[in-house]
Amino acid sequence: MTERSLQVTYRKGRAFAAYLHLSHPTGEKSVKTSASPDGLLVVDYGATGRPVGIEITSPQSVSLERLNQLLADLGETPMAEQDYKPVRAA
């Protein structure tokens, strides 16, 4: 089982992109994506239809509240403020 984790990519000391890996069976791959209307959040779904991850294309533009609303819509546990701090670094 792959556990939830946040991966942040930095460019010139600022968060450039981020990916929130959601808990899912190890080896499950994305087979479908769904982007928010503004393209800031992209949800990846596995073959079972379950979300496997969320791409945050512009971390500086996505608030924790917005991410947590999406997580709630997906039936996922909200992210704690301390866990979202790497996105706000620099």
State the average pLDDT over residues 66-90.
93
Which CB contacts under 8 angstroms, 24+ apart, belong to 26-29? 26/1, 26/2, 28/2, 28/52
**Does position 90 have pLDDT exceeding 60, yes or no?**
no
pLDDT at 25: 86
* Residues of the domain holding 72: 5-88
Mean residue pLDDT across the chain: 93
Q: What is the mean pLDDT of residues 6-34?
A: 93
pLDDT tens profile 42-77: 999 999 999 999 999 999 999 999 999 999 999 999
What residues pair up with 32 in beta bridges, in sequence order? 45
Report the domain count for the chain: 1
What does DSSP assign to residue 22? P
More confident residue, 32 or 89: 32
Cβ neighbours for 31, distance < 8 A, ≥ 6 positions apart:
45, 46, 47
